[in-house]
Structure 1
Amino acid sequence: MNKIRILGAVTALSAVLVGCGASGGSDTASSGSNSGKPRIKFVINGTLGDRSFFDSAYAGLKKAESLGYSLKVVELGSDRTKWQSGFEDAASGDDYDVLAAGTVDTAGFISELAPEYPDKKFWLFDSTVDYTGKNGCSNKCANVYSVTFKQNEAAYLAGFLAEKLVAGKALPGATGDSKVGVMGGVKIPVIEDFVVGFKAGFKAAGGNPSSGVLVQYVGGGNPFGDPAKGKEIASSMYEQGAALVWPVAGSSGLGVFESAVAAKRYTFGVDSDQSKTLTDPAQQQTVVTSILKNAGSALYLAAKQNKSGSLAYGKPAAVGLTENGVGYVDNAGFEKLVPAALRTELKNQAAKIASGAVTVPSAF
């Protein structure tokens, strides 16, 4: 039986990770009107269907319906020029009590809009507004709950595991490879936090990140939604001797799994358990583990606390291994590919980070 080692937290993620893939700009209500229930409007600067971060967030909000909420989803698509007007339209409506949004790209919109609607609540995940009131939040965003994730801690575990697998020649068919790859969407602090943590873990395991870790970014106009570019980058990394590639690039990462099948190499998933959310069995088999940033769990917890009146608005929150906000997947595939001694070693590393015995460097 699969068990997700999120080191606590609510595992609402895989239960509702449906293949959404709706077109940009769509506006979809779930489960009817739910009159009289507290209403959450999830505004996405992109679309569902990434089988990763946005789908994870959706799963947590979808599960919040069991707490008595109703959920409406607004997908703004990948055209950045439409995001500001999309958020303004979404906020101006009277069809929500809570507006939820995520990623650093939406922080400015929430900072500007939240003060205009003081009777509404705003949840921002994977970024934070400026609570000093200097940049847009005239009321210091007293109605905004911001939660970020210590992705560097989970990335450290990914790097540690990757080096041990490569050095130990533990991956069948890739025993001659001596490198690993990390593919980011774009070079921004939140993605760099993954890279910094990964390299630190790789080094702690005895590797040389300067020569052993390949790093490249998708970039372009759609860095988190370009699977073709992701496949191209991953193929290059495998050709350079990478035994596995870890995509940290939203749906651009879907191309990495395609490339891994063709190269007969391996991957790590990100944000969700991608050994489950991927629909191609061959791609699923390439996933050694998935490094989780539990957006869905964090949002479901926010929904519980909001309902009880204990959710802390007006100040930032950050969750990592200690707070059960990040982790890794330990399932049958993981146990097949990762030797028992290494699984124990990885678990001990996670415990050291959670206890504070190991401090992981950050890009922030």
Structure 2
Amino acid sequence: MKKSISLLLIVLLLTSVMLVGCGTDEGNGEGGEAKKAVLLVSGTLGDKSFFDSANEGMKVIKEELGWETHIIEMGTDPSKWEPTLTDVSAEDYDLIICGTFQMQEKIEEVAPKFPDKRYVVFDVSVDYDKADYSNVYSILYKQNEGSYLAGVLAAMVTTSDMPKANEEKIIGFLGGMNIPVINDFLVGYVEGAKSIEPDIKVAVSYVEDFANPAKAKEMCLAQYDMGADIGFNVAGGSGLGQLDAAKEKDCYAIGVDSDQAMLFKDTDPEKAELILTSMLKRIDNSLVRAVKLFEEDKLPFGTVEVLGLAEEAVGLAKNEFYERNVPQEIKDKIEEIEEQVKNGDITVSSAFDMSDDEMQDLLESVRP
């Protein structure tokens, strides 16, 4: 009897040791605890664009990398953003993630106060010459490269015999604001279009607001009325107005940041069919890449990286609508040019390297 009890105790002890041992392998932090990341949204989710792409990245970080993730929608009142960032910095997050030019000054103010915290900022870079930002990793994107492909597509569409193409060589561009990062899209778009059709004209409008789709729609209706048969929106939530205008005028559109055609596939298939592609700024891929590098202790804090086609951080959406509605000749040309950009045979200009006069000259050269 005593032997039986002793054997039972030994078995129970070994089992408990094995369970504890297994427990230490769960998660990816010390003591079996998952690492924690938070995404601060300077606005709200649901823009079917920029922040939604960041949110998709957080889902991958949670589901595939095993992190504990949190999303904080800070709303549209900028006065609340810095206090929220400060509060989050006092908590036990391994990575604090935020982005866009709207958060640059907030990060520059808060990050030095929490030197033991680690920050990832996307689509903007802190000014590393201003202070010690050795705990901040910045991501910029070669949106000019992806937009070059969008321009190639737009020019080939407007000069094609596609059903909704007209005889005018006019394409549209809608920007959220007249700022360098938006103009970087525009520069690539114009250069890509002119590489196909040197005499192309581009109708350019700026909403000066990333959350005003009604105003954006009126601007894009005017672009379509002047002869544009395809337009490219780079305007966050305002860009949804361009998609509404495309549906009303039965013209083509190019989305941005996330795959906007797929977002309307079930809710508005007629609109989805008009969105030939989207120029994806893959915030999701870049955040997943950053977290993987962080896990390997290889994330270069204190620096900025600029990611493009080669890193799969930008590119065109090649979904079922693209495959069905874009002629094979155009798809083949885009594949060819994409490889040329990746391997350096084509170098795309950037708005960040252009003076105001050079930018104005470019706009004048394509004004309808």
Report the TM-score, using the length of structure 1 for normalisation: 0.84
2:55 is equivalent to residue 69 of structure 1: no
Q: Which one-letter code corresponds to 2:48 in the other structure?
A: R
Q: Which one-letter code corresponds to 1:341 in the other structure?
A: E
Contact 2:149 2:189 in 1 (8 A): yes
Counterpart CA distance in 2 for 1:200 and 1:338 is 21
Q: What's 2:207 paired with?
A: 218
Q: What's 1:310 paired with?
A: 298
Cα offset, 1:96, TM superposition: 1.9
2:199 is equivalent to residue 208 of structure 1: yes
SS of structure 2 residue aligned to 1:187: coil
Cα offset, 1:208, TM superposition: 2.6
2:194 is equivalent to residue 194 of structure 1: no
Q: What's 1:292 paired with?
A: 280
Q: Which one-letter code corresponds to 1:63 in the other structure?
A: V
SS of structure 1 residue aligned to 2:338: helix
What per-residue deviation string (whole Å, max 9, x for no partner) do you get for residues 317-359 of structure 1?
Answer: 0101122211111223212222212211111111111111111
Q: Which one-letter code corresponds to 2:60 in the other structure?
A: K
What per-residue deviation string (whole Å, max 9, x for no partner) do you get for residues 28-83 of structure 1?
Answer: xxxxxxx9321111111111001111000110012101312111111111223333
Contact 1:43 1:90 in 2 (8 A): no
Larger radius of gyration: 2
2:344 is equivalent to residue 356 of structure 1: yes
* Larger CA deviation: 142-151 vs 75-84: 75-84
Contact 1:78 1:225 in 2 (8 A): no
Off by >3 Å, runs of 4+ in structure 1: none
Counterpart CA distance in 1 for 2:38 and 2:96 is 5
Q: Which one-letter code corresponds to 2:284 in the other structure?
A: G
Q: What's 1:144 paired with?
A: 136
SS of structure 1 residue aligned to 2:336: helix
What runs of 5+ residues in structure 1 fail to find an aligned partner? 1-34
Q: Which one-letter code corresponds to 1:287 in the other structure?
A: I
Counterpart CA distance in 2 for 1:95 and 1:240 is 55
Q: Which one-letter code corresponds to 1:166 in the other structure?
A: T
Q: What's 2:21 paired with?
A: none
2:109 is equivalent to residue 123 of structure 1: no
Which residue of the other structure, out of 143, 161, 165, is the alignment partner of 2:157? Answer: 165
Counterpart CA distance in 1 for 2:123 and 2:51 is 11
Counterpart CA distance in 2 for 1:85 and 1:207 is 50
Q: Which one-letter code corresponds to 2:99 in the other structure?
A: G
Cα offset, 1:95, TM superposition: 4.2
Q: What's 2:105 paired with?
A: 108
SS of structure 2 residue aligned to 1:257: helix
Q: Which one-letter code corresponds to 1:87 in the other structure?
A: L
What per-residue deviation string (whole Å, max 9, x for no partner) do you get for residues 126-172 of structure 1?
Answer: 1111122x2xx3x2x111111110000111111111111111232x1
Q: Which one-letter code corresponds to 1:191 in the other structure?
A: I
Contact 1:52 1:274 in 2 (8 A): yes
What runs of 5+ residues in structure 2 fail to find an aligned partner? 1-31, 353-368
2:175 is equivalent to residue 184 of structure 1: yes
Counterpart CA distance in 2 for 1:362 and 1:169 is 31
Higher relative contact order (CA 8 A, sep 6+): 1
Q: What's 1:3 paired with?
A: none
Q: Which one-letter code corresponds to 1:296 in the other structure?
A: D
Which residue of the other structure, out of 256, 266, 277, is the alignment partner of 2:252? Answer: 266
2:76 is equivalent to residue 78 of structure 1: yes
Q: RMSD between aligned alpha carbons?
A: 1.5
Q: What's 1:323 paired with?
A: 311
SS of structure 2 residue aligned to 1:285: helix
Counterpart CA distance in 1 for 2:351 and 2:42 is 24
Contact 1:169 1:176 in 2 (8 A): no
Which residue of the other structure, out of 321, 325, 332, is the alignment partner of 2:320? Answer: 332
Cα offset, 1:201, TM superposition: 0.7
Aligned residues: 318
Counterpart CA distance in 2 for 1:179 and 1:80 is 37
Alignment of 1:20-39 (within 5 A): 36-39=33-36
Q: What's 1:7 paired with?
A: none
- In terms of fraction of residues, the more helix-rich structure is 2
Counterpart CA distance in 2 for 1:120 and 1:68 is 20
SS of structure 1 residue aligned to 2:203: strand
SS of structure 1 residue aligned to 2:39: strand
2:71 is equivalent to residue 47 of structure 1: no
Contact 2:169 2:199 in 1 (8 A): no
Counterpart CA distance in 1 for 2:338 and 2:189 is 13
